[in-house]
Structure 1
């Protein structure tokens, strides 16, 4: 038997080494892409289902949201107090929960995300090291699981079932005078951005789409994280590291943002719907270079109406 040995010249060896390094880098990049794709597709989050706030007077609050914003009450439940779901669209609601005592300074109760398959999603969360609750049937008839998320906000993950109240009221209670048909984002306080990113960005694959400071050259104040593989809903971190926000500040920081197709038309509708002191609610251009109008409900919780196209 004769063995044949091939001797590589220095130039050939360098070329071979470069090819091997290139192949390794390509494989690593492909593995990262696969991991990111899996994170985006594994959970199947459809978007924001509802945001729940405390109110001190349910009847008056529902009246404000229905008369001034045009969102009709679709159904009511008993869920740690009397709760009414006012309807933005067949998929999205604002949940108003009456409290016996004075509302907390925080007022934000929960942020609910709709998922396509809750059992798969809960398994996915556990695989990432989180501890969601057991699946249960919520008061509104959805399958639900809760998790205390970053900055101690209660997160609710729901799957709309055929006999859920959301499904039973589909196509109904869509107010003719509603000012929006889309809940675009929910904003909430974040006291540790790294911890928030570990959950929303690294575990769930949310994608950063914008960040800004309150003042030019100041520290970051807002970070927007879009839900991947969804209709485009996103969450907005309101960074408060080192701050102790007042009640009024928390009412503005913990907020919802509704899509306005034309902010001037939205303002005219607000006036026609009887919003008191309309001169207080002038359109303005926010730090995102988008036209916005800010309205506060009877308990001081802010609703932001925003165009998505740049103002300038």
Structure 2
């Protein structure tokens, strides 16, 4: 029997579920028998995922929700009701030097990548605590383990996401709520969010396939795992931070980590707007 949350028959909410890792997670969760609730800021993307799930006989509902708006999150959560798994997946990245990042871009990064974690989790956590079961998934990043050039706002937001997940885990454990948490630290994923990113050693630090990451996340939810780092080499990066700074810097140079964003071109298909339907 799974130590975590079984997906067959579960209700699984995925934020940013209309594209990238969120879309793939929603599709695979539906394949495993879950009723999937897709939240996305784009009506077109959300409806496309709804059609994909229904085409395979899955169970789904879709809502256009701006997860940075606390009131909108509460209203949408009331419509949805209790869920068994919350996948905090929605995320954005600017990929700019600190001095080239606009105020609006920084505020958007922090709102989507950090504040939304609070609004969404707080909306559904009471139901999980009341029923003494469920899993909250927080998608952080390898950038939530080690700082990377041209990702100052993104890395800061992902370190905050990791801190949120770790603190939530401690709180749920201390209060013996029965609610589980999972924090996910993937390296770059081929979702269109990091177009142009290159790695120096693709066999050791590959650009990950979104289907592989989504599968690993759902496996971790069902098994009850509490931390997931992909690929395996990434696990050494936070440990390497204990090295003397010059040694650490040299390691980052050898791995080429700080040059990965040199050819970043931006996110594909970042479209917002329009009402969407619920099924």
Q: Output the TM-score relative to the length of structure 2.
A: 0.30
Q: Which has the higher helix share?
A: 2
Q: Which has the higher strand share?
A: 1
Where relative contact order (Cα < 8 A, 6+ residues apart) is larger, the structure is 2
Which has the higher Rg, Structure 1 or Structure 2? 1
